[in-house]
Amino acid sequence: TTNPAILEILAEIYWETSDYQKAAETYHTLSNIKPIGQWNIRSFYHAAAAFHQNSQFDMSKVVLDQGNTALASINAKQDRHFLGALATICLQNEMYEPALKLTENAVFKTENMKTTLYEILAMNYLSEKRYEDAFEAYQQMAKENDWSFIQIRAETGMNKALTAGKLYEKWIPEQLKQVAENPNDPKPILKLAQCYEATEQTKEAITQYERLAELEPENSQWYAKLGTLYQNLPQGNRQTETAVEVLNPAQSAKSITAYEKAIELEPTSYQLYDLLAKTYLKTAQTSQAEDTYRRALDAPLTKSDHDAAIRAIIGLYADEGQEHKQIAILEEIRQELPKMNNSAVMHELLGDLYKKAGDSDNAELAYAKWMQIRQKELYSLRSVYDYRDFAEKLLDKALYPETALMFAKRAFFDKPFFDNEFPLTLGRASVANGLYDEALRHFKHAFSLITYKYYDWDIFWEDFTETIKIANDKERYIQMLNTLIDSMPSERSNVRAHIYLMIADFYTENETPDYVENYLLKTGFIPETAWITLGPFNNKDNIGYNTEYITENTTQIDLTAKYEGADEQLSWKKFTDAAFNGFINFGKDNDWCVAYAWTTITSPDEREVFFLFCSDDPSKVWLNSTEVFADSIAQTAILDKNTIPVTLKAGVNTILVKVGNEEGTWGFYLRVTDTDGNPYEDLKINKVQSN
C-alpha cells in the first residue's frame, strides 16, 4: 500500500511488537512519499531509530543523512518544537550524536521558551558523559522558567550531573586558585564553600561561609547556612538512637547564635524561625522552641506562615493526653495576639482539641468560628480544588453535612472533566445527607472516569472506606454498594473485590462473622477460617526461603507432628485473625522468621484458574505438591499484584504457602478467580481442622 495512514499504523504495530526490521522498512517507505513535509521527516528519523534498534547502524546513518537532507529543504528546519521532537526520537533510541546536534540547533534558533530544549540538551550531554555541559544546560533550564516543577526537574538533573561527573571534587582545586587570586570576591568563595559542603568537608565549608559573612555582614543567608553547618560538625556525644537528635551544647550555641543573627537581618523569613526552633528541640529545649514560634506569630509574616507556626506549636505537645495543655496555649495566644482570632487554622485546631477532650460545647463554638472564616476565604478564592478540599474536611470530621454537600456541588459543577475525585466527593457528601440514589449516580460517574491502568487505587479506597462511617443508614449504604457492584463490567473484578472487602471490614467491626465470610467468598479469597498455619521458623539472613522445615512438595500434612521452630516446638494450628480482610497476617512481632499456611479447595472438574497472589516478604506457593510461584524479593503485599495461571484438578486440591519475614508485618493475599478475575461459585473451600 502507498496509503500514508495505513503505512503509519503498520509501522507502529511492527515497532510495538519489536519487529524493528519491518518497522524500519515501513517507516522508510513512508518517508519517501511525496510531497516532503514534517511527517516525512519524522518518518526518516523513526526509520533510522528502528534500524538502530535492529543493530543495523550503517543503515541507520544512511537514513539519518537522508532525513537531514530532507529537513534542510523545508521551512520546519527553523521550528524549535519540530527540531526538539526529532531530537527526542533520537534520544529515546540512544542515538546521542544526532540528538545533540538537533537540540543545539534548536536552542540556537530560539530566542525564548527554551526550557524543554535545554532539558533535552542536558539529557543528551549526560548520555555523552559531558557532565559539565549537562550541568550548565540544566542551569539554563532553571533560569528559563521559575515554575516549581521545572525547578525541581532542573535541580534533579544538576545533581545527577554533579554526582556522575564528580564535578565538585573537580572544581575544588580550580576554586581554590580563584579564591587565592581574588580573596575578596564572594562568587568564587561561595562556589568553593558549596563544593566543600557537597563533598562533606564541613569544617572547610564553614571557613568559607564565615569569610562570606565577613565580606557581606548584612546577608542573612550566610548566617542561616552557618547555623545548619555548625550542627553537622563531627561531635563525640551525638545521640541518634532516639527520634530527636541531640546536639552538644557548644555547637548548638554557635548554631543558635547564627540563626538569631539571620533572623535579625531577615525577620520576615518563617524558615529561619523554624530552623532556630528545631535547633532548640535538638537540645531538648522545648520551651525555647515554643517561644521562637511565638516570635514568628508576632512577626510580619504571611498568613500561611502564621498558620504553620500555630501548627508547629501544637506539634510540640502532641503526646497523648496533652489536649488540655494544647488548648491552654492556643487560648493564651488568642488573648495575646487578637489578629489570630481571624485564623481559620486556629479555630479548626481548637475545635479538634475540644472535641478530643470531650468538651462538645466549646468544640461547637470553635468549629462555628472556623466555618465562618473559612467560608469567607473560599468565596474570595473561588477555587474548585479548595471547595472540594473543604467539603472533604467537613466529611472527615463529620461536621455540617449540608455545607459539605453545598461545596461539593460547587466544586463538581466547575470541575476538570477528567478528574474522578470531584464526583467521588459529591457522592460522599450525598451519603452524609442520606441521598443514596444520588450518591450511587455520582459513584458510578467517578468509576467511569478511571480508565488508566496504573491509577493509584489506595487513595480511592481510603475515601470509600471512610464514607461508611458517615452514613446514617449503614445497611442502606451497603445496599447501594451492592447495586454499584452489580453495575460494573466484568473487567472491573479488582474494583468489586475492594468493595466486598470494605463491606466485610464493616461487618467485622460490627461482629457479624457470617456476613464477613460471605463477602470474602464473593471476592474469591480463601477466608481466614479455612487456613491452618505452622511457624515461626528461623529466617536469619533469609535462610528460611530455601530451607525445607517441612516436606514442601506434598499433598498431605501430619497434624500431629512436632517441629523445632525458631523459639519453641511447633505444630499446625488453626489460623486466627481479628481482621477478616483477606490478608493472612502472621503478625508483626517475629522479625526474620518464616511460616507456612495450608488449605484445600474442591473443584467439580479440571479447570484453568488464576491465583491472584502477593506477599510481604519473600514467598513460595505449591499447588498439589508442585511449586507454582516463587519470589525472593522483600516487599509490601499489594492486592492482586501477581497473576499465577494454574490448573485445578477435579476433586480436592492442596495449597501450601510459605512466607518469609524480614521486619514488621508479614503475610499474604490469595484470591482464586477465573481468567477475568471473577470468583467461582462452585468451588468448595474446605475447613481444615488443626490438631
Q: Does one domain contain both 446 and 538?
A: no
Q: How many domains does the chain have?
A: 2
Whole-number Å distance between alpha carbons of 445 and 449 = 7
For the stretch 167-190, pLDDT in tens is: 999 999 999 999 999 999 999 999
Query: Residues 435-457: pLDDT tens digits?
Result: 999 999 998 888 777 655 445 55
Same structural domain, 581 and 662:
yes
Q: Are 549 and 680 part of one and the same domain? A: yes
Q: Where in the sequence is the domain holding 617, given as residue range(s)?
A: 528-686
Give the start-end residues of each E strand in 503-618.
532-538, 563-564, 569-570, 573-574, 583-587, 593-603, 607-616
Is residue 596 in a domain? yes
Residues 268 and 358: their CA atoms lie apart, in Å, by 38
Mean pLDDT of 581-586: 84
**Mean pLDDT (whole number) for 99-126:** 77
Residue 578, classified by CB atoms within 10 Å of its CB into exposed (0-12), middle (13-18) or buried (19+), is exposed
Averaged over 459-482, what is the pLDDT?
Answer: 78
Decide if 292 is inside a domain. Answer: no
- Residue 634: pLDDT band (50, 70, 90) is confident
Residue 423 lies in a domain: yes
Q: Please check whether residues 665 and 532 belong to one and the same domain.
A: yes
User: Is 328 contained in some domain?
Assistant: no
Same-domain check for residues 444 and 580: no
Please tell me the distance from the alpha carbon of residue 230 to that of residue 238, in angstroms, as a whole number.
13
Query: What was the pLDDT predicted at 147?
Result: 81
pLDDT tens digits, residue range 383-398? 899 999 999 999 999 9
**What's the rounded Cα separation, in Å, for the pair 116 and 150?**
9
Question: Are 636 and 553 found together in one domain?
Answer: yes
Which residues lie below 8 Å from residue 455, measured CB to CB, with a gap of 6+? none
Q: Which has more confidence, 316 or 470?
A: 316
595-619 residue pLDDT tens: 999 999 999 999 999 999 999 889 9
What is the CATH classification number for the domain harbouring 681?
2.60.120.1560
Nearest to 595 by CA among 538, 520, 663: 538
The answer, yes or no, to whether residue 239 has pLDDT greater than 50, is no
What is the band of 237 on the pLDDT scale with cuts at 50, 70, 90?
very low
Residue 474's pLDDT band (cuts 50, 70, 90): confident
Q: First-to-last CA distance in the chain?
A: 73
Cβ contact 157:120 at 8 Å: no
Give me the pLDDT at residue 588, please. Answer: 75
Residues 471 and 533 in one domain: no
The answer on pLDDT for 243 being more than 50 is no
Residues 533 and 680 in one domain: yes
The percentage of residues in the chain with a pLDDT greater than 90, rounded to a whole number, is 52
Last residue of a domain, one of 487, 517, 546: 487
Q: If pLDDT is split at 50, 70 and 90, which confidence band does 238 have?
A: very low
Q: Quick one: what percent of the chain has pLDDT higher than 70?
A: 89
